[in-house]
Amino acid sequence: ADQFDVDPPPGYAEAHCGAGEGRVVLYAGSFFDNEGVPTLLRAAKQVLAAAPDTRFVIVGGHPAEAARALAGLAGELGIAASVIFTGVLPSLEMPFLFRCADILTAPKADNILNRAGVPTKLVEYLASGRPVVVSAVGDIPSIVEDGVEAVLVPPDDARALAAAIMDLLADPARRERIAAAGRNKVRLRHDVGAA
């Protein structure tokens, strides 16, 4: 867990996350259908209507045709100016990226690929000490307690995802509580160094 508890080097947040321009909601991963990134972009439109200073940082680039489609969707939704597509970045930079964010999100779709198991990304997100909004699919609800260690939302529900993000953006104390509880869960249950 300690590798995710690091501060970004000077200038990193500004270069990659649009820091200084508002709060940051970050997604990192692939762009396959099961990841639910279109749902995140639709939720972003709702969030930005209420909190226009928010920036959505989308890290990844595979598959390339999906990346192009997502950029196109952001344009169609009228939110391209508030969505930063970083492209693929080295995995060693993920801890820095996560720490740049106010909220991390994993909007998993209701897809057969997601109906069992827990994504490694969720554990890494939690280890970073940032609040996480994640879809309640597969084994995820058995790993984190909703509203305590993460915020769970129904899959494929842009309205619920937007509401969860907006609630957290409006409540810094709650963000801190959830982030600390999520990080503690990882340290207790998923950190090989703690054994």
What is the percentage of the chain residues whose pLDDT exceeds 90? 74
pLDDT in tens, 18-32: 766 689 999 999 999
pLDDT in tens, 124-143: 999 999 999 999 999 999 99
Please, what is the average pLDDT of the chain? 91
pLDDT grade, residue 14 (50/70/90)? confident
**Better pLDDT: 18 or 15:** 15
pLDDT grade, residue 6 (50/70/90)? confident
Give the length of the chain: 195
- Does pTM surpass 0.85? yes
Distance CA 94, CA 33 (A): 22
Q: Residue range 69-85: average pLDDT? A: 97
